[in-house]
Amino acid sequence: MTNPVLGDRSRPGVAPAGPTGLTVPKGTIDMRKYVAAAGSALLVALLAGCAGAGSGGPQQNDDPVTPEAPTCGTEPVVLNAYFETGFDLPFRLSEEFSRQFPNVTWDIKQDQFQNLINATPRLLSGNNPPDLIRLPTMVSLVQDGLLKNLDGYAEGFGWDKWPPAQLSQNRVADDGTRGSGSLYAMGLNYSLTGVFYNKELAARVGMTEPPKTVAEFDAVLERAKAQGILPIMVWNASASGGGLAFPLQHLMAAYGPTQPINDWIFQKPGATIDTPTNRQAAEHLQRWIEAGYFPPDANAIQYTDANARFRNGEGLFIFNGDWENASYDEGMPGNVGFFLFPPLKEGDPVAAMSSPLTFGIAANAANAGCAAFFFNWVATNEQARQINVTVGGSNPGGPADLPIPSVAPGSVTNETLAAGALVAESNGAMDFIANATGAIFAQGWTPELQKMVGGQQDGAGLLAAVQAEYERELEQGS
């Protein structure tokens, strides 16, 4: 995505420049991005990745919890942070935070999500652990005592009085399951996924309104292909992770209920991704691939490249999240729309992936109190909340009585926020299947989806292979 603050990320291997006054070297983690990342009611939703059962419940890495509401003081503070490459929001928030609190400066490193999956344990256990870090996974980090328990801050700042669903996804219970227990992370916002479309190309293929069923969506894809228009832009390169997981999960929710998907992501006992309805969804995705509805070079396309190509008019649709709203509004003003992926039968409940943009604090962070103050500021400060909506395109969360900041007329954010309310009404929020374990995205979904693109895997085999990898990782506590 192109942004005047972060530069052009459409060029692979080029480190984006950070906001003025921030140190943002190119990520030097020597291992191998998934996006992660809604209407106000979508706070029932789900991004912090889930890790294996490992050694059991969380280790106690803090003193007994007491209410705390610290500030950053007035003395110089340098917040040590790790952000995810490709997302402007944390950089813009950190820039505004330093504007309001000039004694706070930032030492920011960044890397792609896929790399962070591998590197986060090492970073958190190092001699200079980050005060703030984007969390690609969470449970195993809690079990190993690497994340700070935030319960004291939650009570001190009053986070425990916010709508409970905002925090539930970042809670870890004594048995190592997510959804209850102590708080170990916070969301910078709460995102929503769906289908973005190029309005000019939609008009060319006769799409006058969003499809109401999967069959209608299929018909639009067929018309686009017949007219020489790429039906769906996608990324599926290893460096960014298998973006085909986005349309796959939307198809899963169209063919079957969302609860079994969330159970699998949250590692409920006996949960499996290899269900009859999910096999139908995977076979449907396979038909799209075989019909040529995705770019032939999908396995070589990174996330930033896919977005750049979509903004430049390549592709009628792209499955993505509201974190791209600002870049789409800027890159194709007035020419981008959004809708929720439709159900099989018109009028059936709709569903979407939704989650907090999850950050944590290292258990031994030098500036944990200031980092917690930053979390509170992001959710409650008027300017920060406006940045969240304008740049992040997502609901900022926070106290229930705070209004959602204004959105510019014509911005696609109006459509994503409205869509979030529909998902909430149907209780259709899902976490991301890429987050079920610490390595399932890199070791399961991405290689198997790449094989499907290459004609070496089918729908049934895809799910069987991913389920086997999932069980292997749970056995190893990964």
At 317-361, the pLDDT tens digits run 999 999 999 999 999 999 999 999 999 999 999 999 988 889 999
Considering Cα of 201, then 206, then 209, then 211, what sign does the dihedral take?
negative
- Say which residues have a Cβ less than 8 Å from residue 293's Cβ, sequence separation at least 6: 221, 225, 231, 232
Considering Cα of 241, then 197, then 417, then 9, what sign does the dihedral take?
positive
Structure tokens at 26: 């190119």
Determine the residue type at 193: T
Structure tokens at 419: 């869509």
Angle subtended by helix axes 382-390 and 368-380, to nearest 10: 70
Between CA 9 and CA 308 the distance in angstroms is 9
- Say which residues have a Cβ less than 8 Å from residue 358's Cβ, sequence separation at least 6: 36, 47, 48, 134, 135, 138, 169, 170, 185, 186, 187, 188
Here the contacts of 279-283 (C-beta below 8 Å, separation 24 or greater) are: 279/459, 279/460, 279/463, 280/255, 280/256, 280/459, 281/248, 281/251, 281/252, 281/254, 281/255, 281/256, 281/459, 282/248, 282/251, 282/458, 282/459, 282/460, 282/462, 282/463, 283/458, 283/459, 283/460
Q: What is the DSSP letter of 53?
A: -
**Strands 429-430 and 352-360, bridge-based pairing:** parallel
Between CA 9 and CA 364 the distance in angstroms is 33
Predicted pLDDT of residue 64: 53
Which among 266, 282, 253, 284 has a CA at the least distance from the CA of 429? 253
- Say which residues have a Cβ less than 8 Å from residue 126's Cβ, sequence separation at least 6: none
Please answer whether residues 102 and 77 qualify as being in contact, where contact means their C-beta atoms are separated by less than 8 angstroms.
no
Q: What is the DSSP letter of 362?
A: B
Q: Which residues sit opposite 353 in a β-bridge?
A: 430
Q: Which residues sit opposite 78 in a β-bridge?
A: 105
* Sole residue written with tokens 């425990």: 160
Here the contacts of 346-350 (C-beta below 8 Å, separation 24 or greater) are: 346/212, 346/213, 349/426, 349/427, 349/428, 350/422, 350/423, 350/426, 350/428
* Sole residue written with tokens 């009053």: 158
Please answer whether residues 367 and 81 qualify as being in contact, where contact means their C-beta atoms are separated by less than 8 angstroms.
no
Between CA 54 and CA 28 the distance in angstroms is 28
Which among 143, 240, 142, 139 has a CA at the least distance from the CA of 442? 240
Between CA 478 and CA 61 the distance in angstroms is 20
Determine the residue type at 13: G
Q: Is the pTM of this model over 0.85?
A: no
Structure tokens at 65: 């919890």
Q: What is the DSSP letter of 259?
A: H
Predicted pLDDT of residue 58: 55
Structure tokens at 417: 């926020």
Between CA 107 and CA 22 the distance in angstroms is 6
Measured at the CA of 116, the angle between CA 320 and CA 121, to 5 degrees, comes to 140
Could you say which residues of the chain have pLDDT below 70? 1-65, 478
